[in-house]
Copies of this chain bind each other. A is one copy, B any other.
Amino acid sequence: MAGVSFRQQVLVAREGAIVASVNRLLAEKGFEAMTVEEVAADVGIAKGSLYKHFVSKEALAAAAMVRVLDRALAFLETESQHSAATPVEHLKSCVRWMLQMQSAGEMPWLPAQNSTLRAALLQDRAYIDRVMAVSDRLGAWIVAAQSTGAINPALPAEAVLYTMYARACDPVPGFLRAGGKFNDEQIVDILLALCFDGLLARSPAADQTSISLLAS
């Protein structure tokens, strides 16, 4: 525990590089399209060596998820320092962060219905722990925002939570990006408005998430 050998540090660094590559490739092409061989080539090692670090392709994806969830937890930590912000403002910041991660190509894109992958994730304690930690933090803000009436109290809290999570794999930003009419910042603003304000117009302009379309 006291001294970590140099060799071990090198190994840890290499694993970090592997997970970083996996993260990028998952964001770029998704789980099934990403091949283990590709990951190895990207890191610059042999495929056989990869399997000394991670027992399966699913384990690679799980490690990438742990990495991004750790980043999310770090963001949540600094976000909660802003004690002046209301719960809803915290939630908006979180969704904005997710959307920015997605457009930066940093958000792993996992299929919702791959059974072997889901099974592997559900048995990965590191993953589960972090999902629960993130959900607890978001859940507290959701409950608070619903009690003040800022977030629609008629919505089940879990529906709000899932909706936030689902922004990580929303195809709409990709479609808008493909259209070429909007830059990343505008797309984030549009999606924030869609998520929090919905499609319907709001009567008082005051409580509406502003979309800065005039900047184009």
Contact of A113 among B30, B115, B197 (CB under 8 A): B30
User: Chain A 169-192 against B: per-residue CB contact (8 Å), 1 yes, 0 no?
Assistant: 111101110010110000000100
Q: Are A166 and B172 in contact (CB under 8 A)?
A: yes
Within 8 A of B (CB), among A142-199: 149-156, 158-160, 162-163, 166, 169-172, 174-176, 179, 181-182, 190, 193-199
Known: A111-B111, A198-B197. A158 touches B171 (CB 8 A): no
A172 contacts which chain B residues (CB < 8 A)? 159, 162-163, 166
**With an 8 A cutoff between CB atoms, is A109 at the interface?**
yes
Q: Are A166 and B155 in contact (CB under 8 A)?
A: no
**With an 8 A cutoff between CB atoms, is A133 at the interface?**
no
Q: Whole-angstrom distance between the alpha carbons of A45 and B207 in the complex?
A: 59
A112 contacts which chain B residues (CB < 8 A)? 171, 174
Q: Are B170 and A202 in contact (CB under 8 A)?
A: no
Interface residues of A toward B: which range?
35 or more
Q: Are B201 and A204 in contact (CB under 8 A)?
A: no
Q: Are B190 and A195 in contact (CB under 8 A)?
A: no
A71 contacts which chain B residues (CB < 8 A)? none
Known: A111-B30, A113-B33, A150-B201. A163 touches B211 (CB 8 A): no
Q: Are A196 and B196 in contact (CB under 8 A)?
A: no
User: Chain A 73-91 against B: per-residue CB contact (8 Å), 1 yes, 0 no?
Assistant: 0000000000000001001
Q: Are A197 and B152 in contact (CB under 8 A)?
A: yes
A32 contacts which chain B residues (CB < 8 A)? 32, 111
Q: Give, as a whole number of angstroms, the nearest-CB distance from A46 to chain B.
A: 26
Contact of A152 among B29, B113, B181, B193 (CB under 8 A): B193
A-B contacts, 16 of them at CB < 8 A, read A30-B114, A112-B171, A113-B174, A151-B200, A152-B193, A152-B197, A152-B198, A155-B194, A156-B181, A156-B182, A162-B172, A163-B199, A166-B170, A194-B198, A197-B200, A198-B200
